[in-house]
Amino acid sequence: MRALPTTAITLLGASLLPSATEAQYVRDLSAEDWTLSSAALNRTVPARFPSQVHMDLLREGIIDEPYNDLNDFNLRWIADANWTYTSGKIEGLGDDYDSTWLVFDGLDTFTSISFCGQFVAATNNQFRQYMFDVSFILEGCGESPTLSIEFGSAPKIVDAIAQDPNSPTWPEGVQITYEYPNRWFMRKEQSDFGWDWGPAFAPAGPWKPGYVVQLKQAERVYVRNTDLDIYRQGQINYLPPDQSQPWVVNASLDYLGTLPENVSMAIEVKDIQTGEILASQPLTNVTFAEGSVTGITVLDGVEPKLWWPQGLGEQNLYNVTIAVTDGGNRSIAEVTKRTGFRTIFLNQRNITDAQLAQGIAPGANWHFEVNGHEFYAKGSNLIPPDSFWTRVTEKTMTRLFDAVVAGNQNMLRVWSSGAYLHDYIYDLADEKGILLWSEFQFSDALYPTDEAFLENVAAEVVYNVRRVNHHPSLALWAGGNEIEALMLVLVEAADPEAYPFYVGEYEKMYVSLFLPLVYENTRSISYSPSSTTNGYLDIDLSAAVPMAERYDNTTEGEYYGDTDHYNYDTSVAFDYGSYPVGRFANEFGFHSMPSLQTWQQALTDPDDLAFNSSVVMLRNHHYPAGGLMTDNFHNTSLGMGEMTQGVLSYYPTPDIPSDPLANFSAWCHATQLFQADMYKSQIQFYRRGSGLPERQLGSLYWQLEDIWQAPSWAGIEYGGRWKVLHYVARDIYKPVIVSPFWNYTTGALDIYVTSDLWTPVTGTVTLTWRDLAGRPVASNGGLPAAPLPFHVGALNTTRLYRMNLKQQPLPRHEDVILTLELSATGRLPNAAAAADDDQAETTFTHEQWFTPAFPKDLSLVDPRVRLTYDAEREKFVVEAAGGVALYTWLEHPEGVVGYFEENAFVLVPGQKKVVGFVVQEDETEGEWVKDVTVKSLWDLNEGGKRRV
Ligand SMILES: *[C@@H]1O[C@H](CO)[C@@H](O)[C@H](O)[C@H]1NC(C)=O
Ligand SMILES: *[C@@H]1O[C@H](CO)[C@@H](O)[C@H](O)[C@H]1NC(C)=O
Ligand SMILES: *[C@@H]1O[C@H](CO)[C@@H](O)[C@H](O)[C@H]1NC(C)=O
Ligand SMILES: *[C@@H]1O[C@H](CO)[C@@H](O)[C@H](O)[C@H]1NC(C)=O
Ligand SMILES: *[C@@H]1O[C@H](CO)[C@@H](O)[C@H](O)[C@H]1NC(C)=O
């Protein structure tokens, strides 16, 4: 092969790795000219790296946007075929290196790799990093080599594995399939084969970067992964850390190449805001193991500012530079990771006597503690933001995470089974203070447990645990989704005799294998084998099964673990007695339609824009078990029917016969009203539990955002538009809230004030009854006219008022509305550590409303809502000139992404609301303001108007 002059190599190397010398050469594969070919296409097209087949075909105009119309079915020929990415000749590789490596940070999924026409290796795990020594192939190549990666058809390969008589089988009806079957045989994003909120594209391709790395013996090494673990001295994953202990920094580099003798390690800790160097010291106890070098140090006397989740304090970040030098003090490797100092602990320990004395019910805890403080986790579940990760950008994720912060959320559960998140996404979460409860990619299925499979997943777990450990946003590792609470239950029902065997299989992988792998690679992060469990009984690290799960070893009246709750019987949607009582709600929800504007992004034929059009129905994937692969193919009516029922039970029936498009839009919107009200009802119920015996300390609803344009549980539509849900969740996740709890059977109405501040808060709530024309009700319907004072303790709730509506001197319940206005003074956690002066006080407000009849039964009065734009203040002014406007809804056109400062609010006649809009993206050069519209409950149908 042709060698370049040394100077050229140095230059190339230098441009990619600032501190590299000619001892190391790293070539980013994105720099090559790539092509994509397939027998299914009969031709070769230009491609990119990293990429995915669908994205290259889209860019080359061979296919249309995959999300359009029924392309999720029409493009299946892509997933059914094999595809090959081939580089041009890779020029400039030197021949004076001792080794040459191919490094892939992510290949999706089944590949066969050749270099210079010679087979290198096959891979089968999307989530692993792969390294291959190709020194010998390069030596014998004789010309500049090409690299070729063939991606096999994942659906076909897993079908073949399933047919192998040596492959495991499971009892009938246990494994959950959406569209393509047999996903449990692949280490590939499980939702690529369809989910109840998403399509099945089964994409393939080199989805993450790749490199050619050339190294010289005993000189600089190539650092392929870093595990930076920061914890309090003596900290053990499953015990609360002692906050008085100094910080320990354990740094471990995974490298390619050979280390010289006598290496030493050191770290430097730098405040990225001030540039101040906090610590610069050697690491001790340096050890070597299989391509890793590890050292440790205690930061005695160093007190970095802590990192806090949003709403609980600042997000202080530090750069930690880890340097490896040889005996002559020459640099062998140097890595900088941005990190933060915090402890995050999932407390699953038994309730103590001290807690019992506080009125907490017996059982076990299940809540998070940050820097030694328990707090209320407010948030939702994150699914993959796109079927194609290669088109998810930092911009998309910034927009999404800004919506999370604006939504008063401090935690997301990164659900399995999408993918382990990229580093840049954790970086964003570090900056914005969003805790990421992260999971290994196993969900709603039982998985093989043969040795090869376990070895494969062990490598995946170790790589990812080490890769993301330095991010202060990392909150937890969980083994998988609904394996314990759902899969074991299903298998017990299907085959009771085999149940103990499957429990053993479960423990073999999620406890005996994964728990030690987590603990060996991080001391700062807790581990739970599955999301939604009753927690554990005990931990004994010397036992074969080191965590003894509680399973259904429970006692009536005690609480343990986290809950999930899905109830599609809409008749009990607002019945508090139907909600689970537990320590933490990690999933709950109900689906709704996206807006008309979002449907219009994907449905190119206007005739399809109808509630029961076949395209809309086929995008509803919430159908009976078995999914599209079975006889239920056309039975897509289940989810549609549930949404319809939710609307019909509680809201005026959308009915605008004169305008089919407006009618469709009204239906979409009405499903969102039901969804939002149901989540609000549950969130305030769970939050109130913070002050009740269950000491409930978290609610993460299902789900934050959409993967595409379809009916789903999301609060943010594909493209970034907020559904009613995200606005309503934002409101009910405020720190101090007032909530009406109505028992519509007995007539009892209890009003609670709930606070998740860490110090007591005092304030008042003004309760006002009005009729729906906006006039005061005589004697305020029996309620005191004066504001009611309250005092709520830290992370607590208090009952403000109790009444029975059947005994109140009220007009017809269909004619009245109660408004509740809260104003309070208190302190945000860590707001002013410096002083306890008045500056540290914050005013908290919350506005609520309540009607003693469901919206469909109300005698609405035309609110005659008016909208004007105040160009000077750049704000919208909304007024109701007629009656009370319920669910007043501002809507922005396509072309702009962002959110109104407030939405879905009640407007009383005479009241003027001034509402700003936070622009996240604007393609209209500001023209969008002209196309903002307003509507309210009144506008769901024409019938309402005729009723006046
Ligand atoms: C490629 O050729 C095959 C066989 O001739 C044909 O069936 C197929 O439709 C062709 N594919 C495309 C994308 O043209
Ligand atoms: C497709 O790829 C798989 C996996 O590499 C391989 O086993 C299979 O033979 C390939 N099929 C074709 C038609 O090339
Ligand atoms: C922190 O490290 C990052 C990554 O190496 C670097 O880009 C950034 O400039 C550093 N910041 C400071 C203040 O040194
Ligand atoms: C280094 O190893 C020694 C001997 O095993 C041990 O006593 C010491 O605690 C270790 N240092 C740190 C910082 O862990
Ligand atoms: C927690 O309580 C259970 C009984 O519910 C008991 O079996 C277990 O040993 C206790 N665990 C610890 C760590 O004390």
Q: Are strands 435-439 and 222-232 parallel, antiparallel or unpaired?
A: unpaired
Ligand positioned closest to the Cα atom of 43: 1
Residues of the chain with pLDDT under 70: 1-22, 624-637, 832-839, 943-948
Ligand positioned closest to the Cα atom of 317: 3
Last residue within a domain, chosen from 829, 859, 889: 859
Would you say 70 and 608 are in contact if contact means Cβ atoms under 8 Å apart? no
As a three-state string, the secondary structure of 327-363 is CCCCEEEEEEEEECECCEEEECCECCHHHHHCCCCCE
| Ramachandran angles phi, psi of 11, nearest 5° | -65, -50
Give the pLDDT confidence score for residue 24 in this predicted structure: 84
Find where tokens 């987590």 sit.
Answer: 518
What stretches of 472-556 adopt beta strand conformation (E)? Answer: 474-478, 527-528, 536-539, 547-549
Rounded Cα distance, 701 and 588, in Å: 5
Q: Which atom of ligand 1 is nearest to the CA of 42?
A: 1
Q: List, as own/partner pairs, every contact residues 541-549 make where C-beta atoms lie below 8 angstroms and the sequence separation is at least 24, other chains included.
A: 541/516, 544/512, 545/507, 545/511, 545/512, 546/511, 546/512, 546/515, 546/516, 547/511, 547/515, 549/484, 549/507, 549/511
Rounded Cα distance, 408 and 464, in Å: 28
Whether residue 838 sits in one domain with residue 739:
yes
Would you say 35 and 177 are in contact if contact means Cβ atoms under 8 Å apart? no
Structure tokens at 281: 């010291």
Structure tokens at 418: 């999408």
Whether the model pTM is above 0.75: yes
Give the pLDDT confidence score for residue 623 in this predicted structure: 73
Domain presence at residue 794: yes
Whether residue 190 sits in one domain with residue 121:
yes
Residues in the chain: 948
| Among 80, 114, 150, residue to substitute to test ligand 2 (most atoms within 8 Å of Cβ) | 150
Render pLDDT for 357-400 as a digit per residue (tens, 0 to 9): 999 999 999 999 999 999 999 999 999 999 999 999 999 999 99
The CATH number given to whatever domain includes residue 931 is 2.60.40.10
Rounded Cα distance, 248 and 226, in Å: 16
Whether residue 920 sits in one domain with residue 789:
no
Distance 46 CA to ligand 1 centre (A): 19
| Among 285, 286, 298, residue to substitute to test ligand 4 (most atoms within 8 Å of Cβ) | 285
Catalytic residues: 482
Q: Are strands 788-792 and 796-804 parallel, antiparallel or unpaired?
A: unpaired
The CATH number given to whatever domain includes residue 169 is 2.60.120.260
Whether residue 934 sits in one domain with residue 819:
no
Distance 285 CA to ligand 4 centre (A): 6
Domain presence at residue 36: yes
Query: Which protein residue's CA is at the shortest distance from atom 5 of ligand 4?
Result: 285
- The rounded mean pLDDT for the chain is 94
Angle at 604 between CA 603 and CA 605, to 5 degrees: 95
Please list every protein residue whose CB sits less than 6 Å from any atom of ligand 3: 270, 272, 275, 319, 336, 338
Q: Which atom of ligand 2 is nearest to the CA of 112?
A: 5
If one counts the domains in the chain, the total is 3
Cα 220 to Cα 3, 9, 96, 352, 472: the distances in Å are 20, 15, 15, 53, 29
Which of 804, 807, 822 is CA-nearest to residue 754?
822
284 lines ligand 4 (CB under 6 A): yes
Whether residue 853 sits in one domain with residue 813:
yes
Query: Which protein residue's CA is at the shortest distance from atom 8 of ligand 4?
Result: 285
Give the pLDDT confidence score for residue 417 in this predicted structure: 87
Query: Which protein residue's CA is at the shortest distance from atom 4 of ligand 2?
Result: 152
Rounded Cα distance, 495 and 170, in Å: 9
Would you say 201 and 54 are in contact if contact means Cβ atoms under 8 Å apart? yes
Domain presence at residue 112: yes
| Ramachandran angles phi, psi of 788, nearest 5° | -90, 125
Give the pLDDT confidence score for residue 838 in this predicted structure: 58
Give the pLDDT confidence score for residue 624 in this predicted structure: 59
Whether residue 918 sits in one domain with residue 822:
no
Whether residue 809 sits in one domain with residue 837:
yes
Domain presence at residue 16: yes
Rounded Cα distance, 614 and 608, in Å: 7
Would you say 452 and 505 are in contact if contact means Cβ atoms under 8 Å apart? no
| Ramachandran angles phi, psi of 187, nearest 5° | -95, 70
Rounded Cα distance, 798 and 751, in Å: 9
Amino acid at position 499, single letter: Y
Give the pLDDT confidence score for residue 943 in this predicted structure: 62
Domain presence at residue 652: no
Query: Which protein residue's CA is at the shortest distance from atom 3 of ligand 2?
Result: 152
Domain presence at residue 434: no
Rounded Cα distance, 752 and 757, in Å: 15
Whether residue 818 sits in one domain with residue 882:
no
- Determine the number of helices (DSSP H) and then strands (DSSP E) in the chain: 19, 46
Render pLDDT for 10-64 as a digit per residue (tens, 0 to 9): 333 333 333 344 678 999 999 999 999 999 999 999 999 999 999 999 999 999 9
Find where tokens 């023209």 sit.
Answer: 927
Rounded Cα distance, 378 and 756, in Å: 10
Query: Which protein residue's CA is at the shortest distance from atom 6 of ligand 1?
Result: 40
Domain presence at residue 418: no
| Among 272, 274, 280, residue to substitute to test ligand 3 (most atoms within 8 Å of Cβ) | 272
Rounded Cα distance, 335 and 131, in Å: 19
Structure tokens at 720: 């970034």
Helix (H) or strand (E) holding 222: strand 222-232
Please list every protein residue whose CB sits less than 6 Å from any atom of ligand 2: 82, 110, 112, 150, 152
Last residue within a domain, chosen from 816, 840, 859: 859
Distance 283 CA to ligand 4 centre (A): 11
Last residue within a domain, chosen from 154, 183, 213: 213
Domain presence at residue 782: yes
Query: Which protein residue's CA is at the shortest distance from atom 13 of ligand 2?
Result: 82
Whether residue 841 sits in one domain with residue 795:
yes
Q: Which atom of ligand 5 is nearest to the CA of 558?
A: 5
Whether residue 146 sits in one domain with residue 18:
yes
Distance 119 CA to ligand 2 centre (A): 14
Render pLDDT for 627-678 as a digit per residue (tens, 0 to 9): 444 444 445 568 899 999 999 999 999 999 999 999 999 999 999 999 999 9
Would you say 247 and 341 are in contact if contact means Cβ atoms under 8 Å apart? yes
Whether residue 166 sits in one domain with residue 20:
yes
Give the pLDDT confidence score for residue 396 in this predicted structure: 97
Q: Which atom of ligand 1 is nearest to the CA of 77?
A: 13
SS3 percent helix, strand, coil of the chain, rounded to 5, is: 25, 30, 40
Q: Are strands 761-771 and 788-792 parallel, antiparallel or unpaired?
A: antiparallel
Rounded Cα distance, 543 and 546, in Å: 5
Whether residue 167 sits in one domain with residue 56:
yes
Domain that holds residue 69: 6-213
3-class DSSP state of 288:
strand
